[in-house]
Structure 1
């Protein structure tokens, strides 16, 4: 009996040790996965912010926008110069602001901040710019001949992709209307497209921004070696319900989403889970706030960080301060609801510390960084 009793106690002790060890392991694994998601999400967003406005040429060169260039279509309305009359390369939207609709496609993400896929009271951001590059062999008036159509990702250039071409004095934004895949000379056409999204010109159900003119502002007499050609990548980031929540309402988990123009269509992609909130402040070069020389002109230095609703001139934004609130996908990770410092959706950007308390027992962590917009800080 004594041996049996001791055996029972030892067995219970082993079970208790195994149970506690398993709980610690699962908690550590959940936190590690959350931290990995946070680093990845922050890396994706900051890279696009850094590349905002990049064309491969000087930001002061005039841009000929051959897309329809509607001021209400965020990914068409592109400019890089601080003196541009319209168009931006970066813009933010506070949680109280609707994101503008996309052209020709039902805008399920941003029709309202209280419905659809976007989570209310979370910020959204767009970053427009170029990336990658293609070697130009021949510069023609209605087409360009390339020696390669391979993207840095390994994918290939396709018809309806958006491109930026520039020479030593001009920049053109256009849509490829045709791409031949016959090596070694790949022809990329930029002839005129219809402005509608139906018919034979555009693939069914896809967006067709069109080319308002077949002629690029890039001189057809410029040597091919002086022509830069790269992808134009308009991207938007927002917080939405995770796909794992199904079609119904779901408080947790949330995910970071991005919108990108892929093969003629604006596509929503879930980047990573566990991103519960995103709050963004914008470092603006505002001569009214700080103008020691009395010139009334920007001096290339961030003077003040502002909420999206308070930015005076988006083309004078030089840096972005972004915060992501991450949470574990699993509940019951901590013994009691956690408190953390998180900025309010609107207000003074200098007052970051506002205490919030979770309504569950997930583990929360804030990932924050400030990133400079390279094209504006360097002037190139």
Structure 2
């Protein structure tokens, strides 16, 4: 018994002597493994964070680019809409003096203008019909050097639910001095508004409303007369007859261009796409650095289309601009998050114009982009003009 007890005590003592914990070497090895694991977790976290920032930046860039082109498409699809006789009507422009620069007797649905990197406008088409804001030099509010300008002429229905509203309340004769209508939907027509009267025949008339309008929004109908005296019109004679089946449409000229917002973000000037309608300017999408436009013109006696610069000599000869049947638009979009490893030195191609980074050499009319550690991409579209005249 004594021997067995002694043996158990010896074993118990030996077991307790072996439960002394980790040695210094074992502890350091464990610490090193833990450090590697923590480093791996941190590395994965930072990589995921950078990836998320990159994906968010790309998503915003793509969303802005698509949205900008969608907005422009809406206007381009409305270009030269003239009601029931769209495509087969000759518009008599009562507003502009035929002897003035930029006069367009045929009222083309679109025009585009080139501005090179040094701030010089191309000679054709004449820029006299663009507002002073758009023509301004490369300052906040002015069209950017090296970026094109697109002008879209269109009309719109004043009552989407009833395309014939407003209706004439009497005949409009060659001797008439006003156009009497039964309503002014949503009080859209004001003194100074430009309207088109069209009667589904071969002609339509564009004139500026020169009398004050008394209208109460939300309480139709608002019957009124639309006068067109020489305070806003070069001609005051409507040389045809319009009956009760005629339409009165609100005329708009929407000018799209790139300009400086005057804001800065992460050290970058914020450029944006602007839309100016009848002298009222609105910022549409920020982050648009450059815009290039090509006009698609049907080749005479052919089904083919030639895409040319807005200043093309043939396009600007006679009434050829009226024969434009499609438009290509390319936008250079810029993000503002600093997500690149280095400065963006890439050369971007907008249709056929090269836009290198600052410090590079501009080729053609495209100008330069601001470089920097931000993301950029080119977005483009080709839009067929639905209301282009048939030839």
TM-score (norm 2): 0.70
Rounded to whole Å, the distance in 2 between the matches of 1:115 and 1:243 is 6
1:45 corresponds to 2:72:
yes
Alignment of 1:67-82 (within 5 A): 67-69=95-97, 77-80=103-106
Distance change >3 Å, CA 71–CA 120, structure 1 → 2: farther
Distance change >3 Å, CA 320–CA 314, structure 1 → 2: same
Q: What is the aligned length?
A: 323
What are the superposed Cα offsets for residues 197-235 of structure 1, whole Å, 9 maximum, x if unpaired?
Answer: xxxxxxxxxxxxx13455545625x1x2x1112211101
Residue equivalent to 1:34: 61
Residue equivalent to 1:231: 250
1:181 corresponds to 2:209:
no
Residue equivalent to 1:108: 133
1:163 corresponds to 2:160:
no
Rounded to whole Å, the distance in 1 between the matches of 2:127 and 2:335 is 31
Distance change >3 Å, CA 241–CA 111, structure 1 → 2: closer
* Higher mean C-alpha displacement, 133-142 vs 33-42: 133-142
* Higher mean C-alpha displacement, 228-237 vs 3-12: 3-12
| Offset at residue 49 of structure 1 (A) | 2.2
1:190 corresponds to 2:226:
yes
1:370 corresponds to 2:377:
no
Rounded to whole Å, the distance in 2 between the matches of 1:133 and 1:156 is 7
* Higher mean C-alpha displacement, 178-187 vs 323-332: 178-187
Residue equivalent to 1:272: 285
Find the residue that maps to 1:189 and give its secondary structure: strand
Contact 1:109 1:117 in 2 (8 A): yes
| Offset at residue 328 of structure 1 (A) | 1.3
Rounded to whole Å, the distance in 2 between the matches of 1:174 and 1:357 is 42
What are structure 1's unaligned runs of at least 5 residues?
81-86, 196-209, 292-298, 347-353
Rounded to whole Å, the distance in 1 between the matches of 2:373 and 2:341 is 5
Rounded to whole Å, the distance in 1 between the matches of 2:261 and 2:287 is 8
Find the residue that maps to 1:53 and give its secondary structure: coil
| Offset at residue 365 of structure 1 (A) | 1.6
Residue equivalent to 1:124: 149
| Offset at residue 4 of structure 1 (A) | 7.3
Contact 1:128 1:234 in 2 (8 A): yes
Rounded to whole Å, the distance in 1 between the matches of 2:321 and 2:74 is 19
Contact 1:34 1:329 in 2 (8 A): no
Alignment of 1:239-318 (within 5 A): 239-245=258-264, 252-261=269-278, 266-287=279-300, 291=301, 301-312=303-314, 313-318=320-325
What are structure 2's unaligned runs of at least 5 residues?
1-26, 160-164, 171-175, 315-319, 355-365
The structure with the largest alpha-carbon Rg is 2
CA RMSD of aligned residues (A): 3.5
| Offset at residue 128 of structure 1 (A) | 0.7
Residue equivalent to 1:206: none
Contact 1:108 1:117 in 2 (8 A): yes
Contact 1:52 1:128 in 2 (8 A): yes
Rounded to whole Å, the distance in 2 between the matches of 1:62 and 1:378 is 12
Find the residue that maps to 1:181 and give its secondary structure: coil
Rounded to whole Å, the distance in 2 between the matches of 1:70 and 1:377 is 22
What are the superposed Cα offsets for residues 70-97 of structure 1, whole Å, 9 maximum, x if unpaired?
Answer: 67576xx4554xxxxxx53311112335
Find the residue that maps to 1:18 and give its secondary structure: helix
Residue equivalent to 1:320: 327
| Offset at residue 39 of structure 1 (A) | 0.7
Residue equivalent to 1:201: none
Rounded to whole Å, the distance in 2 between the matches of 1:365 and 1:147 is 47
User: Which structure features the higher share of helix residues?
Assistant: 2
Contact 2:274 2:283 in 1 (8 A): yes
Rounded to whole Å, the distance in 2 between the matches of 1:305 and 1:374 is 17
Residue equivalent to 1:144: 180
| Offset at residue 180 of structure 1 (A) | 3.0
Rounded to whole Å, the distance in 1 between the matches of 2:104 and 2:185 is 24
